[in-house]
């Protein structure tokens, strides 16, 4: 039996809508893309949405819309997928990291404040901070927003894990405390378009800029042009953009999947509750939920209490994998990758991230996970193959 850590669900209704597009006149960016954008914006209670071919692309054009360029500084958390940092590097900016909170594993607000005070003294304040809602649990946005006003930085929420979640009862993605929020629709995420992403915002200028950047920097809007059109064929490239467009085929899958968003997040919470119960007397720390948070629950991350176990972190991980339970580790701290190591980061500057990296394991979490599979996962933690008992 193989149990992956995450898995999409494709239903007949998904196939039907995708089929409709395949038989229609538009394959790429036709009517389905704006339909998907409007549907996501409505769910998130936000004004504008720009669909693109990945969250990585969305993070890139979000940084560009916020004016990130060479000489600027961007901060993020080390416990994230590399894309949250790479977006700054695409723009030629310098990246730095803020250590994580020991309870939520999100960016630590107290460490952020300390680092801002220090950076202000040295005249090296960040232009943008990319916060990541790890596992779907929102960061402490209200406090981060206050800091952004005091120190003059802009905020991108990397909500790749968090669509369908809430912060203080409001949908993640409403951009109440940020400039732009980004979602991912990669198949392991909460809803999928195969590959895909979206950037949402309440600012019409950011929206217009991101729309342009997703399609070569080209505009067809006369108001944006530097001269009257030469003729009906006319368009202008105003800046250097990209081909980051989402297809209508992908958008159709997204529209169809989005109908099940609340159901998916609820099911993920049910699974988390079962894990919480079954693991309550085991030497692991289960995910702590901040009272302001209703997590998207993309991941269920346990931390091993290694002092109470006979096996080490790597051994527990290998035992799971050899039993066909495809656990994962989200994430290798970004500064540990050779590309970032060359920039001279010292792991000692991030003690909470280092400790996290030595203890964390993401166990399977997806709506299709059955009760017997949940029990199998827990059993493998308690009694790994070839061992009488683990503790």
Ligand X SMILES: *Cc1c(COP(=O)(O)O)cnc(C)c1O
Contacts (CB under 6 A) with ligand X, residues 263-302 = none
Residue carrying structure tokens 């827990």:
378
Which of 5, 75, 81, 300 is in the footprint of ligand X by CB under 6 A? Answer: 81
Binding piece for ligand X, criterion CB under 6 A, among 11-19, 156-164, 226-234, 260-268: 156-164
Q: Where are the alpha helices (DSSP H) in the chain?
A: 12-22, 32-44, 55-65, 83-90, 109-122, 141-151, 204-214, 248-258, 261-279, 313-322, 338-341, 351-359, 371-382
Pairing of strands 236-237, 197-201: unpaired
x/- mask, ligand X, residues 180-219, rule CB under 6 A, reads: ----x-x----------x----------------------
CB of 79 vs ligand X, minimal distance in Å: 9
State yes or no: residue 93 binds ligand X (CB under 6 A): no
CA dist., res. 353 & res. 334, Å (int):
10
**CA–CA separation, 369 vs 219, rounded Å?**
45
Query: Which residue, 14 or 158, is less far from ligand X as judged by CB?
Result: 158
Name, in order, each residue with C-beta under 8 angstroms of 151's C-beta and a sequence gap of 6 or more. 116, 119, 120, 125
Cα–Cα distance measured from residue 226 to residue 63, given in angstroms and rounded to the nearest whole number: 24
What are residue 95's phi and psi, to 5 degrees?
A: -110, 145
Q: Does 104 bind ligand X (CB under 6 A)?
A: no
Q: Looking at 8, 76, 84, 174, which residue binds ligand X (CB under 6 A)?
A: 84
Is 51 an interacting residue with respect to ligand X (CB under 6 A)?
no
Among 66, 73, 83, 271, binds ligand X (CB under 6 A): 83
Please tell me whether residue 172 binds ligand X under the rule CB under 6 A.
no
Region of 114-122, 148-156, 157-165, 172-180 interacting with ligand X (CB under 6 A): 157-165
Name the minimum Å distance from CB 22 to ligand X. Answer: 23
Stretch that binds ligand X, among 75-83, 107-115, 145-153, 259-267 (CB under 6 A): 75-83
Q: Residue 35: helix, strand or coil by DSSP? A: helix
Residue 364 sits in the site that holds ligand X (CB under 6 A): no
Q: Which of 137, 160, 295, 353 binds ligand X (CB under 6 A)?
A: 160
Tell me which residue has tokens 């000489």. Answer: 71
| Spatial distance between the Cα atoms of 127 and 235, rounded to a whole number of angstroms | 32
The residues that bridge with 74 in the sheet, in sequence order, are 95, 128
Closer residue to ligand X, CB minimum distance, 8 or 319: 8
**Contact residues for ligand X (CB under 6 A)?**
54-56, 80-81, 83-84, 132, 158, 160-161, 184, 186, 197
């Amino acid at each position: 039996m193989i149990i992956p850590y995450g898995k999409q669900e494709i239903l007949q209704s998904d196939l039907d809508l995708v089929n409709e597009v395949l038989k229609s006149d538009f394959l790429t960016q036709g009517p389905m893309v704006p339909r998907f954008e409007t549907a996501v914006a409505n769910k998130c209670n936000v004004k504008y949405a720009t669909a693109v071919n990945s969250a990585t692309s969305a993070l890139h054009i979000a940084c560009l819309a916020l004016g990130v360029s060479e000489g600027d500084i961007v901060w993020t958390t080390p416990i994230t997928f590399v894309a949250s940092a790479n977006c700054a590097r695409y723009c030629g900016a310098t990246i730095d990291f803020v250590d994580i909170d020991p309870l939520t594993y999100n960016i630590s607000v107290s460490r952020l404040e300390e680092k801002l005070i220090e950076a202000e003294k040295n005249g090296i304040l960040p232009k943008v901070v990319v916060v990541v809602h790890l596992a779907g649990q929102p960061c402490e946005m209200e406090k981060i927003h206050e800091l952004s006003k005091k120190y003059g930085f802009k905020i991108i929420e990397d909500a790749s894990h968090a669509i369908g979640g809430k912060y203080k009862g409001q949908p993640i993605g409403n951009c109440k405390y940020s400039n732009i929020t980004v979602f991912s629709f990669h198949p392991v995420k909460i809803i999928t378009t195969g590959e895909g992403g979206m950037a949402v915002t309440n600012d019409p200028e950011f929206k217009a800029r991101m729309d342009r950047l997703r399609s070569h920097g080209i505009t067809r809007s006369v108001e944006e042009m530097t001269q009257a059109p030469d003729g009906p064929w006319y368009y202008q490239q105003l800046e250097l953009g990209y081909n980051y467009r989402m297809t209508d085929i992908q958008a159709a899958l997204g529209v169809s999947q989005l109908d099940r968003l609340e159901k998916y997040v609820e099911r993920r919470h049910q699974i988390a509750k079962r894990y919480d119960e079954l693991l309550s007397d085991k030497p692991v720390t289960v995910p702590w939920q901040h009272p302001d948070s209703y997590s998207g629950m993309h991941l269920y991350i346990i931390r091993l209490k290694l002092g109470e176990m006979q096996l080490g972190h790597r051994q527990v991980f290998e035992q799971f994998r050899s039993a066909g339970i495809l656990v994962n580790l989200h994430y290798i701290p970004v500064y540990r990758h050779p590309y970032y190591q060359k920039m001279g980061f010292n792991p000692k500057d991030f003690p909470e991230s280092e400790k996290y990296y030595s203890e964390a394991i993401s166990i399977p979490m997806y709506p299709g996970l059955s009760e017997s599979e949940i029990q199998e996962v827990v059993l493998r933690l308690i009694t790994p193959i070839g061992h009488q008992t683990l503790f």
